Chain A
């Protein structure tokens, strides 16, 4: 059971690292940065 869990953990860990790398390569991190440095009016509740 634990061996199976470790395999799942490694697979999810590798998949998430792959997704972050893909996000960095596609420039999604810059989109995240742009969104996060502009005051989000919908978060405040006025837009």
Chain B
């Protein structure tokens, strides 16, 4: 049983995660000169997909967005993607949604906004549960099917998710590039205003509800969520230690019942349930552990 205050443990876990999020946001967007010049980085590292939803048209981006790359390849003449899909599967099987909790800059921004004090709100459960499935529809329709199927007279498809939904693109690429390039500002039209309105709505919503984009719309989170059950990075719940105090459920901002499904596809691996549990019933599972329970499966 833990000896320290649970509130302190939670704060420590949040601070530690915030530090990682800051480091990775800087690491993925380290080309600082791009922001002042209003030009994107053109080095060879851009052939490598980063694990997060980080627009490669962000002036600071050092790598390629996996969702953007997947769509572009599917929308191209080949209609088949090996490379981007391979990266996505590799990140998924190693990290699962740890990527969302610790590495994603857009997730971090939503986290920071949610820290603004005030009344918090959740969608009613009968709306929340089906709404969480929306991200799978976004992945299937906007990222895969529509870019493959809808083509112009030259046979080139549209990257529907990037063009009409991605708020990370508007925030990380659209706003900095438009601020630095007056000629781009002349091209602004209804599509930009739609994306800007969507970004503002999601950022405002983040103040009241924890990570609305990640919960309901993010196709990358949907993809990684499929791997949460199999990923090398996993959580373990020991029911024999659980007293049913509900501390984990109160600490979980993604509103998951950890005691029922510790490796839920919705879990972003923030670690708050581990920090909150007074009985250490939830822990990180050792990689390639041999047993479901017992000391060999423990890391803490």
CB within 8 Å of B: which residues of A?
1-3, 5-6, 8-9, 12-13, 15-24, 26, 28-33, 35-37, 39-47
Can you spell out 10 A-B residue pairs with CB atoms less than 8 angstroms apart?
Answer: A2-B292, A9-B231, A13-B94, A26-B83, A28-B81, A33-B46, A44-B192, A45-B169, A45-B196, A46-B174
Chain B contact residue count (CB 8 A cutoff) = 64
Which B residues lie within 8 Å of A35 (CB)?
A: 56, 64, 68-69, 72-73
The 6 closest A-B pairs by CB, nearest first: A23-B83, A19-B86, A20-B86, A16-B89, A43-B169, A45-B192
Measured between C-beta atoms, what is the minimum distance from A6 to chain B in Å? 6
Digitize B52-80: 1 where CB-to-A-CB distance is under 8 Å, 0 elsewhere.
Answer: 00011100010111001100110010100
Are B87's CB and A30's CB within 8 A? no
**CA of A42 to CA of B165, assembled, Å:** 10
B19 touches A (CB below 8 Å): no
**CA of A43 to CA of B297, assembled, Å:** 43
Are B173's CB and A32's CB within 8 A? no
Once A16-B90, A40-B55 are accepted as A-B contacts, the answer to whether A6 and B288 lie under 8 Å apart by CB is yes
**CA of A36 to CA of B70, assembled, Å:** 11
Which B residues lie within 8 Å of A8 (CB)?
A: 230
Which B residues lie within 8 Å of A9 (CB)?
A: 93, 230-232
Which B residues lie within 8 Å of A30 (CB)?
A: 47
Are A12's CB and B93's CB within 8 A? yes
Are A42's CB and B159's CB within 8 A? yes
Measured between C-beta atoms, what is the minimum distance from B139 to chain A in Å? 17
**CA of A6 to CA of B73, assembled, Å:** 31
Interface contact tally, CB-CB below 8 A: 159
Which A residues lie within 8 Å of B88 (CB)?
A: 16
Are B64's CB and A32's CB within 8 A? yes
**CA of A12 to CA of B292, assembled, Å:** 21
B170 touches A (CB below 8 Å): yes
Are A32's CB and B192's CB within 8 A? no
**CA of A26 to CA of B77, assembled, Å:** 13
Are B174's CB and A44's CB within 8 A? yes
B290 touches A (CB below 8 Å): yes
Q: A29-B83, A36-B69 are in contact. List 18 more A-B contacts (CB 8 A).
A: A8-B230, A12-B227, A13-B94, A16-B85, A20-B86, A23-B83, A23-B86, A28-B82, A31-B78, A32-B46, A36-B63, A40-B159, A40-B173, A44-B184, A45-B163, A46-B184, A46-B187, A47-B187
Q: In this complex, which of A37, A39, A40, A47 has the most chain B Cβ atoms within 10 angstroms of its Cβ? A: A40
B291 touches A (CB below 8 Å): yes
Are B169's CB and A44's CB within 8 A? yes
Which A residues lie within 8 Å of B192 (CB)?
A: 44-46
